[in-house]
Chain A
Amino acid sequence: MATVDNAVPPGESPEPFEETVENPRRRDYLSIGAVAFAGVGAGVIALPLINQMNPSEDVLALSTTEVDLSSIEPGQAITTSFRKQPLFVRNLTQKEIAEADAVPLSDLRDPETLEQRTKEGHKNWLITLGVCTHLGCVPLGAGEGENRGPYGGYFCPCHGSMYDTAARIRQGPAPKNLFVPDYKFTSDTSVLVGEA
């Protein structure tokens, strides 16, 4: 029966066996080196296996969405699609703008003014992603006759997040205001979303 301290089996003669005990360092050095090298190799190989799940080049290249504003009356909103996500484009009424401006920043969970969330000279055009910042449902309020919640903006039916007329979070579990993507006005009645 072999024992633990007799891990290396004897050769045909005992002499070389003893030698291994005398000189263990060189063996360890090479074995550890080889195993470490294999570990590094496995780590490097893991990178492409992980990275393949990131968005592919065609997804990253998904480009811009052009929105025509001419048919959106004040008080109305449309839902369109930007990079496979819903995009709310709202034409605010003067009353809604006034409501938004009246809220002190200290009352807000994610303090931002309506000016910061719109483009200069186009304060009535509120363009946000229609993705609740809580867990990603599409809030109600963009469609005609939908529940806009007590703050007159958007209301997310999944977990009850309520947004005001500037699409800022006011009540409920969502941590952030509805996200404003990069966009620019190409004319008074059209915007290009996806380019700053």
Chain B
Amino acid sequence: MVSLILRYLNYLIGAAFAFVLLIALWGTVSELIHNPPQEGAAEEFHLEPKPLHLASDGPFGHWDKQQLQRGFQVYKEVCSACHSLRHIAFRDLTGIGYSEAQVKAIAEQWQIPQPSVNKDTGEPDTRPNKPSDYFPLVFANETAAKAANNNAVPPDLSLMVKAREGGAAYIHSLITGYRPQPAELLEKFPTAKTPPGLHYNPYFATLNLAMPPPLTSDGQVQYEDGTKPTIDQMSTDVAAFLTWTAEPDMMTRHRTGYAAVLFLLIFIGLTFGAYKNIWRDVKH
């Protein structure tokens, strides 16, 4: 008897797994029939990011340094009030076309000083930023950030483009996507009214966002290069800038890639030739 069971053990185990899955399947199907999943407001009214085209797109893209500088200006004059940029150092700004002297001036004039230690007393102190410093945090810690922002923590922006599905397009859509909550939504989901203190934005996963609209009027930032500062333009520029902050080495990566691919294509050609030659007399 035991040997018989052992001999057919595989069938038993297979049948057991299949049987349990059948029970599970029965449960899933009957649940689906009896309680069909309801689409929530967040599923029905959520929008995918609007397409956004930047000079840096694709394997042959390039940085538009004018645009990156405009984007930096938007960050500096608007976003930096709440959002930090902690993975970027002031010295990195030479990558978007600022000279070393300009970088030094930007660092020294940055509104938030760099934390330091008083060298006489050892007490916490601050000093002006240097090019070698990373952008200082806006809030000393998470609790401070929450306290100042109605319990929501403004995320660091350095990696935002890589940390969100949709990247730069998502950021652009989010910034320009604020609108009144549609009446249709309230009709269908009366409980989904945007709570006080939050702002309706269909590009945000839960539709209701703690961040108030950051760009509210054309001309909020005065561009030095004469570009017309419409909300759409400012938002595109800052999305471009954050694409750069997420990966300042991107163009180096692409350029290295061209060389690597070219090299490998030649290498494949050579090895394939050698392979064909070595095998040419052996039928296989």
Residue of B nearest to A24 (CB): B277
For chain A, the bracket of interface size reads 20 to 34
Task: Say which residue of B89, B132, B263, B278 sits within 8 Å of A27 (CB atoms).
Answer: B278
B109 lies within 8 A of chain A by Cβ = no
**Residue in A16, A30, A44, A61 whose beta carbon sits within 8 Å of that of B274 in the complex:** A30
Interface of B: prevailing SS = helix
Q: In the assembled complex, how far is the CB of residue B219 from the closest CB belonging to chain A, in whole angstroms? A: 36
- Contacts A16-B281, A17-B281, A31-B278 given; does A63 touch B130 at CB 8 Å: yes
Closest CB of chain A to B220's CB: distance in Å?
Answer: 33
Question: Using Cβ atoms and an 8 Å threshold, which residues of chain A touch B34?
Answer: none
Q: Is the CB of A31 within 8 A of B277?
A: yes
Bound CA span A58–B273, Å:
46
B282 contacts chain A at the CB level, 8 A cutoff? yes
A194 vs B155: C-alpha distance when bound (angstroms): 36
User: 0/1 per residue, A1-19, Cβ < 8 Å to B?
Assistant: 0000000110110001101
CA distance A167 to B274 in the complex (A): 66
Q: For chain B, which range describes its interface: under 10, 10 to 19, 20 to 34, or 35 or more residues? A: 10 to 19
Contact: A38 with B267, CB < 8 Å? Answer: yes
Beyond A30-B277, A34-B271, is A61–B283 a contact (Cβ under 8 Å)? no
Interchain CB contact under 8 A, B283 and A12: yes
Knowing that A16-B281, A41-B263 touch, tell me 10 more A-B residue pairs with CB under 8 angstroms: A11-B282, A12-B283, A16-B282, A30-B277, A33-B274, A34-B271, A57-B91, A58-B89, A62-B132, A63-B132
Report which A residues bind B (CB closer than 8 A).
Answer: 8-9, 11-12, 16-17, 19-20, 26-27, 30-31, 33-34, 37-38, 41, 44, 57-58, 61-64
Q: Which residues of B contact A (CB under 8 A)?
A: 89, 91, 130-132, 263, 266-267, 270-271, 273-274, 277-278, 280-283
